[in-house]
Structure 1
Amino acid sequence: MTDAPNYGFETLQIHAGARPDPATGARQTPIYQTTAYVFRDAEHAAALFNLQEVGYIYSRLTNPTVAALQERVATLEGGAGAVCCSSGHAAQIMALFPLMGPGCNVVVSTRLYGGSITQFSQTIRRFGWSAKFVDIDDMDAIREAIDDDTRAVFCESIANPGGHIADLRAVADVADAAGIPLIVDNTSATPYLCRPIEHGATLVVHSMTKYLTGNGTVTGGVVVDSGNFDWSASDKFPSLSEPEPAYHGLKFHETFGPLAFTFHGIAVGLRDLGMTLNPQAAHYTLLGIETLSLRMERHVENATKVAGWLEGHDNVEAVTYAGLQSSPYHDRVAKVCPKGAGGLFTVTLKGGYDACVKFVDSLELFSHVANLGDTRSLVIHSASTTHRQLTPEQQEAAGAAPNVVRISIGCENADDLIADLDQALAKAHS
C-alpha cells in the first residue's frame, strides 16, 4: 500500500499495512500474541541479529500486528517508516534518543501539553539533555535559541490545550537553516487534518491514545520518519552517521538510507529502552484508524458549532478555537490544516478559578477525564490537573491559566452538547 500514492486517505486508512493473513486468510489483521518467533535455522537467526535481513526476532523489537500499524501510520503521514511504542511520552523520548547526547539541547515551543513541558524541562535533564522554551511564533527567538549543541526543534501542530496552530513551514525553514530536524507532535491534528512532513518536518510523533485510536481504550505512541533528512551532513548525529559498536561498526544512515532513523529506533531504541507497544493495543488502534476521516470530520463540524455558540455566551470571556474568524490563527487553518482546526480548544470563563471548577463539576454529557481525542466529549481544568506542575508563568504561556477550561469536542449531537454546556455555565455563575 505504500507504493499506491493515488489511493485517497479514506482508502489508505483502511487498507495500508493490512493484508490477508498468509496462514489462515483472515482479512482483519490478527493479534499476534507471541513473545518470540521461530528461526528457519542458525544462519537465519544470525542474519536477523546482524540487521542483514528484515524479520521478526522478539516482540520487544518487532511484532506483525505492530508492524501493520507502523506501515499504516507512516503511509497516512507520508513518511518513509515508523516506530510504534507504548505511549505518546515514550514516542517523544524515542524521537530524541538517536539525536541527543549529554550536553545537547532541544528548542521547544512553550505551547505544549503540560506533561510534555515537564518532560522537557525536568525529566530529560537526567539524561544530561536540556530544553530551551521559546514562543514558536517568534522565528527570531527560535534562531537565537539554537546553538552548536542544539539537536532539534520541537512543537505541536495544533497545540494542547489551546488549539494554537503553528506555522510549520516557517519553523521548518529555521531548523533547516541550522541543519537540525524539526519534530512535530501531530496528535491533536492527526494526518487527516495536517501532514507536517509536507510542511518540512523531519519527524512526526503521536500519542495514538488520542484521535488515532479514538475510543479511549489503549495507550500508544508512534514516531514517523520522513526519510528526508541527511543525517551524515554534519557530525551532530553520530548515532545515525557513525559506526555503531553494538552492530560491528554498521553505519545506520549509510546502510539504510531513508530508513536509517526507523531502523535505529527499532534496533537500538526499542532494544535498549524497551518502550514496546503490545499487539492488542496495536489492534485496537488499527481498528480506530479505519474511521479516522469520518470522526475527524464530525469533530471539526461539532467544534465549529459549539465554539461559535460559546463565543457568544455572556459567561464566557474568550474561546481559543482557530476555526473561529476571531482567532488570530484563523488564517493558518487553510494553510496548515485545510480540512479544519480540529476538535480541541479552551474556554476562558468569567468568574475565574471557582467558576471553572463549578462548570466542570456541573457537566453531564462531558466526561471529566485527563484525555482528549475520544468520540466522547471531554473536559478538564488544566491548571489544576495536566498543567498543575507548571509555574503560573508556564501555565499562562501554555494557554492553561487558572480561569481556563480545556474542551475536547466529541462526535455526539452538537445541540445536545450545547445544551449541556448551557446548563453548566448557568450553574457555574449562579
Structure 2
Amino acid sequence: MSETKTHGFDTLQIHAGAHPDPATGARQTPIYQSTAYVFRDADHAAALFNLQEVGYIYSRLTNPTVSVLAERIAALEGGAGAVCCSSGHAAQLLALFPLMGPGLNVVASTRLYGGTITQFSQTIKRFGWSATFVDFDDLDAVEAAVDDNTRAIFCESIANPGGYITDLDAIAAIADKVGLPLIVDNTSATPYLCRPFEHGATLVVHSTTKYLTGNGTVTGGCVVDSGTFDWSASGKFPSLSAPEPAYHGLVFHEALGSMAFTFHSIAIGLRDLGMTMNPQGAHYTLMGIETLSLRMQRHVENAERVAKWLEADPRVDFVTYAGLPSSPYFDRVPRICPKGAGGLFTFAVKGGYEACMKLVDSVEIFSHVANLGDTRSLIIHSASTTHRQLSEAQQVAAGAAPNVVRLSIGIEDADDLIADLDQALAKATA
C-alpha cells in the first residue's frame, strides 16, 4: 500500500508497509525465517554494503518481516523511518547510541518505568554516559538541568506506573530552545492515544511488547525518527554530521537527510550492538497492531470505569488515573491524549505495604505479572518488584510508593474487573 495522509489510523494499522507477497500472493505478511539473502551479483552486494542501495543482506541488519513492522509503526506515529529491535530497553539504547559519548548526559524525567531509571542511573555509566533526573512538571528545573554535555531530553508520554501525562508541548519547547532532541517513550499511550511528533518530539521509542502486540507473547522494541531534527546544526552529534570511518567518510545527515538517524541505527547500531528483533516476533506484533485502535478504546473505557469505582471506595486512599477530574493531569488529556488517558494507573491501598501485598495475592481475574498492555488485566506492586532497585524517595518520585499497586486494565468485562478488585480489597483490608 502506498501510504498517504488521506489514510486513517484504522486503515494504516492493517495495511501500512505491507504488500501481497510477490512470490506467492500471500495476503498476510510472511515470516521470513532467513538469516541471509542472495545477492543478484557482485555489484549488487557492493552497493548494499556501501549504502548505495536499499535491500537485504543479513537479518541482524534487516529482515523483510521486521521491515514491514518498522514501516507500519513509522506510519502510525507519522515518522520518517523506524528501526525495530529486541526489546524496549534495547530501543532506548539504540535511540541514545548515535547521540551520546563518554562524558555526555541525558536529562530524564523522574516519572519513568523503574527499569528505565535503573538503566539510565546505573547501566549507562559503563559507557561513560550519565543521566540527570528532574521532575518534568517543573519546567524551569528541566531547562536548568541542561548543560554543555547534554545530548537529549527523555520522558514518557503516559508515565509508567502512575499514568501521569507529560506536557509534551512544553518540554518540546525547551528542547527546541536548547537545540536538543526530545525522545518520548510512547509505550503506554501508543500512537492511537498520543502522537508525540505532533507535539515537537524528535524520536519516539516503544516497547512493542506491550500494547502494540497486546497479547503477551513476544518482546520487542522500536525507535521512530521524526526526520525533522537538524543533526548538523550544532556539531554536537558527530555520529550523524561528521564523516563515518566505517563507510569511507560517508556523512549520514548530508547523504541521507531525513532518513539519516534511521539508516545509522541500522548500519551502525544494529550492525555492532546486535539487538535484533526476530521475524516471528515481528509477525506476532503485526497481527496485534491490526486491532490496536479497537483494543485501546476498550482499555480506556474499562480504565475509566475501574478508576472511578476505586476513587469512591473507602478502602482506597487515592487513584492516579489522569482521566479522573480529580487528577492534576486531567486538563492535559484533551490536548496530549485526545482519545483517552490510557489503561495504566496506580492506586493507594489503606493499610500500606502489607495490604498491597495481600491484594495482589487475592485477585482472581487480574494476573500478577511484570508486564503491561496485555488484553488481560494485570496487577503488580511496583515498590517490591519493577521499582525494587530504587530508594524509597526514588520510588515516590516515580509514582511507585510502597503503598500503591499498579493496574494495567485489560479488555474484559469491566463489571467483572470491579468485582475482582472488590473481593481482593476486602481480604487485603480485613
**TM-score under structure 1 normalisation?**
1.00
Deviation string, structure 1 residues 95-127 (Cα, Å, up to 9, x no partner): 000000000000000000000000000000000
8 Å contact from structure 2 (residues 169, 199) kept in 1: yes
1:411 paired residue number: 411
Query: 2:299 matched to 1:299?
Result: yes
Query: 2:199 matched to 1:199?
Result: yes
Distance between the aligned counterparts of 1:136 and 1:39, measured in 2?
50
1:144 paired residue number: 144
Deviation string, structure 1 residues 349-381 (Cα, Å, up to 9, x no partner): 100001000011000000000000000000000
1:213 paired residue number: 213
1:296 is paired with a residue whose SS is helix
Distance between the aligned counterparts of 2:392 and 2:7, measured in 1?
47
1:258 is paired with a residue whose SS is helix
8 Å contact from structure 2 (residues 3, 16) kept in 1: no
Task: Report the CA distance between 1:216 and its aligned residue.
Answer: 0.1
Distance between the aligned counterparts of 2:21 and 2:397, measured in 1?
49
Task: Report the CA distance between 1:408 and its aligned residue.
Answer: 0.3
What letter matches 1:203 in structure 2?
L
For residues 27-426 of structure 1, what are the structure 2 equivalents within 5 Å?
27-426=27-426
1:318 is paired with a residue whose SS is strand
Q: Which consecutive aligned stretches of 4+ in structure 1 deviate over 6 angstroms post-superposition?
A: none
Deviation string, structure 1 residues 142-188 (Cα, Å, up to 9, x no partner): 11100010000000000000000000010000011111000000000
Distance between the aligned counterparts of 1:55 and 1:137, measured in 2?
44
Deviation string, structure 1 residues 221-259 (Cα, Å, up to 9, x no partner): 000000000000011000000000000000000000000
Deviation string, structure 1 residues 265-306 (Cα, Å, up to 9, x no partner): 000000000000000000000000000000000000000000
8 Å contact from structure 2 (residues 56, 63) kept in 1: yes
What letter matches 2:163 in structure 1?
G
1:151 is paired with a residue whose SS is strand
Task: Report the CA distance between 1:47 and its aligned residue.
Answer: 0.5
Task: Report the CA distance between 1:2 and its aligned residue.
Answer: 5.7
Task: Report the CA distance between 1:137 and its aligned residue.
Answer: 1.0
Deviation string, structure 1 residues 33-64 (Cα, Å, up to 9, x no partner): 00000000111000000000000000000000
Task: Report the CA distance between 1:338 and its aligned residue.
Answer: 0.0
Distance between the aligned counterparts of 1:374 and 1:175, measured in 2?
33
Task: Report the CA distance between 1:3 and its aligned residue.
Answer: 3.5
Distance between the aligned counterparts of 1:3 and 1:14, measured in 2?
12
8 Å contact from structure 2 (residues 71, 81) kept in 1: yes
Distance between the aligned counterparts of 2:254 and 2:299, measured in 1?
43
What letter matches 2:55 in structure 1?
G
Gaps of at least 5 residues in structure 2 are none
8 Å contact from structure 1 (residues 2, 75) kept in 2: no
What letter matches 1:336 in structure 2?
I
What letter matches 2:160 in structure 1?
N
What letter matches 1:366 in structure 2?
F
8 Å contact from structure 2 (residues 85, 91) kept in 1: yes
Distance between the aligned counterparts of 2:287 and 2:19, measured in 1?
14
Distance between the aligned counterparts of 1:378 and 1:101, measured in 2?
38
8 Å contact from structure 1 (residues 79, 197) kept in 2: yes
2:390 is paired with a residue whose SS is coil
Distance between the aligned counterparts of 2:139 and 2:316, measured in 1?
32
Distance between the aligned counterparts of 1:429 and 1:69, measured in 2?
46
Task: Report the CA distance between 1:206 and its aligned residue.
Answer: 0.3
**Change beyond 3 A, Cα 1:2–1:311:** farther
Distance between the aligned counterparts of 2:218 and 2:269, measured in 1?
22
Gaps of at least 5 residues in structure 1 are none
Residue identity (%): 80
Distance between the aligned counterparts of 1:302 and 1:109, measured in 2?
28
Distance between the aligned counterparts of 1:2 and 1:137, measured in 2?
40
2:427 paired residue number: 427
8 Å contact from structure 2 (residues 100, 151) kept in 1: yes
8 Å contact from structure 2 (residues 345, 408) kept in 1: yes
Task: Report the CA distance between 1:4 and its aligned residue.
Answer: 1.3
